[in-house]
Amino acid sequence: KQVILAKQIALSLRKYFEDQIRSLKILAALYGKGNLHRLNLNERLDYFLDRNIYDEEILFINSGYNVDYHLRRRDIHTNPTEVPPELVGKSFKFEQISGQKTGVTIRLVRSRDVKDSKVLISVPAFDRNNDYRGLVIEIINLNKILKEIITPFMDTYGAHAFLLSDSSEILYHPYHPERTFKKFNNPSRSCKKCHQDFLLEKRMLKLESGWGTKEDYGDKKLLSFAKIQLANISWITAVKTPYDEIARANRRQFWIFFFLSASMMLFVLLGSMAFYKIAKKHIELEKEKQLRHQEHLAFIGEMSTRIAHEIKNPLASLQTGIQLVESTLEMDEETHEYFKRLTGEIHRVDEIVKGLLAYARDEQIKRIKTDLTALVQNVIRLIQPTIKDKSIEWKLSIPSSRIMLMADEQKMEQVLWNLIINAVQAVKDSGQIEIILQKEKNKKIHIKIIDNGCGISGKNLSKIFQPFFSTQSQGTGLGLAISKKIIQAHGGRIRVESKVGHGTCVEIILTGV
């Protein structure tokens, strides 16, 4: 963590100087081509310089080393020709500053008063013919800018940062400003009062980054460092923290982590308790709902048994009487047709009573290993002779291999019969019925019965599984209700999709073996 902190300080310093150099190159390009007056005209340029040039001074020096222009931060929006009289025509010898006339150079200018020490950044300027025109030099207060950049990185628990040059000079130290520009290779007596040696500091000059421990008369410290390259010079940023402060910070972080963890565990515990109560309430409501449903079915079953007993005996007597009358009377064709309709209506009432009893009773599932492929084919063979008056195109998508299912074969046959008969009734005189049977890798079996008949409206689609609801004039309204009950007893699901005028798709989902 502390090595990263040292690298962050180094990166901030490099970014600051790169921003200054970029700004100076813009000014050098304007100066070299004689367009410095554009400073007053280009608002975007002014804004850029305003963000990157602080309280520094900038000198524009010609090839004869005389000052042509002198800008201060507060004068940057004034006419650059208004130069302080004492600087006009004054000669400066910057041969050592400029170095190579094609490159950027950074140089330290030391002062007796550390606070007045400067950093000079020089950028060469060239005219339109790429001939050397002079230099643009920025003068920066070293102590001020280092303090502004380094201080924000320091925490409040006793750490401090300092800056060294690659020649072992101390450039910045918050606690020992008097040692600025002095080399730690030649420590004074005052240095030896606090430091036993400077071995770690000497190692810092050879490495790009790292860390180490430093013990000075029982005071153990952690020291991290990172090197930064700025144009023609190298600096080393270093961060030093006493171990006692690190331990205190670690203890503080531990307690923060402890309280956060405890709070999170408490939140999870309370959430789990709340979820448990909600789940328990939901289960209780489901059980209550199932109990009411069972009581409702028990009531329907009891009523159905009584109704069936009261209806079946008179029905049997009526049917016997009609058959007796029909056998003793000489009837014409119209009378015979009338008796036939009476017999059919008695048979329909009998079917309704049987369906009601089947829906009311608890489904007793006798599971055996059932070949679902053969069962579907068998139901189709049984239905086909009963619908010779209709022109139906059968489209079967059934795999050649057998699909096995633990199911009550008789009840599954009843479900398939009900659903396929519904599809036949939906297509009227002619149409297409597609039956798809497939098994997925997770053992899920899908049975789809698709017709292109009249379809079901959205209003009726939500009612089709209700007992006694039917859109057919001759229907009992119990086929789908019984089918759904049987499928649920097998642990499966049934769903219906339909669109008026396009047809219906009924899908059964079961678990195979």
Q: Which long-range contacts (CB under 8 A, 24 or more apart) does 174-181 make?
A: 174/147, 177/114, 177/143, 178/114, 180/114, 180/117, 180/143, 181/108, 181/110, 181/114, 181/117
d(CA 180, CA 195): 17
Are residues 464 and 333 part of one domain? no
155-169: b (≥16 Cβ within 10 Å) or e: eeeebbbbbbbeebb
Tell me whether residue 490 is in a domain: yes
How many structural domains is the chain composed of? Answer: 3
Tell me whether residue 164 is in a domain: no
Are residues 309 and 276 part of one domain? yes
Q: Are strands 430-439 and 493-499 parallel, antiparallel or unpaired?
A: unpaired
Q: Tell me the residue length of the chain.
A: 513
Question: H or E element: which one contains 99?
Answer: none
Structural tokens at position 58: 């900038």
pLDDT digits (tens, 9 = 90+) for 31-41: 888 877 665 54
Q: What is the pLDDT of residue 85?
A: 47
Hey, CA dihedral for 224, 229, 232, 237, is it positive or negative? negative
Q: Is the pLDDT of residue 54 over 80?
A: no
Last residue of a domain, one of 146, 181, 201: 146
By residue range, what is the domain housing residue 22?
A: 2-146
Last residue of a domain, one of 305, 325, 360: 360
Hey, CA dihedral for 317, 320, 323, 325, is it positive or negative? negative
Tell me whether residue 202 is in a domain: no
CATH of the domain at 410: 3.30.565.10
pLDDT (mean) for 364-373: 86
Q: What is the pLDDT of residue 261?
A: 92
Q: What is the pLDDT of residue 449?
A: 93
CATH of the domain at 279: 1.10.287
Q: Is the pLDDT of residue 52 over 90?
A: no
pLDDT (mean) for 338-359: 72
Tell me whether residue 219 is in a domain: no
Q: Which of 68, 76, 73, 70 is nearest to 39 (CA)?
A: 76
Beta strand extents in 231-284 (DSSP E only):
233-242
pLDDT digits (tens, 9 = 90+) for 65-98: 777 877 765 444 334 444 444 444 444 444 433 4
Are residues 82 and 116 part of one domain? yes
Q: What is the pLDDT of residue 362?
A: 62
Are residues 445 and 342 part of one domain? no
Tell me whether residue 220 is in a domain: no
Q: Is the pLDDT of residue 116 over 70?
A: yes
* Between 467 and 384, residue with greater pLDDT: 384
Where is average pLDDT lowest: 23-27, 45-49, 158-162?
Answer: 45-49
Tell me whether residue 130 is in a domain: yes
* Between 73 and 60, residue with greater pLDDT: 60
Q: Is the pLDDT of residue 413 over 80?
A: yes
Q: Work out the percent of the chain whose per-residue pLDDT is above 70.
A: 80
Are residues 389 and 349 part of one domain? no
CATH of the domain at 129: 3.30.450.20
Are residues 119 and 34 part of one domain? yes
* Between 335 and 238, residue with greater pLDDT: 238
Q: What is the pLDDT of residue 474?
A: 64
Beta-carbon neighbour count of residue 328 at 10 Å?
8
User: Which pTM was predicted?
Assistant: 0.48
Are residues 287 and 349 part of one domain? yes
* Between 306 and 460, residue with greater pLDDT: 460
pLDDT bin (cut points 50, 70, 90) of residue 219 is: confident
Last residue of a domain, one of 118, 146, 174: 146
Q: What is the pLDDT of residue 50?
A: 56
Are residues 332 and 353 part of one domain? yes
Contact 122, 94 (CB under 8 A): yes
* Between 160 and 64, residue with greater pLDDT: 160
Structural tokens at position 155: 């925490």
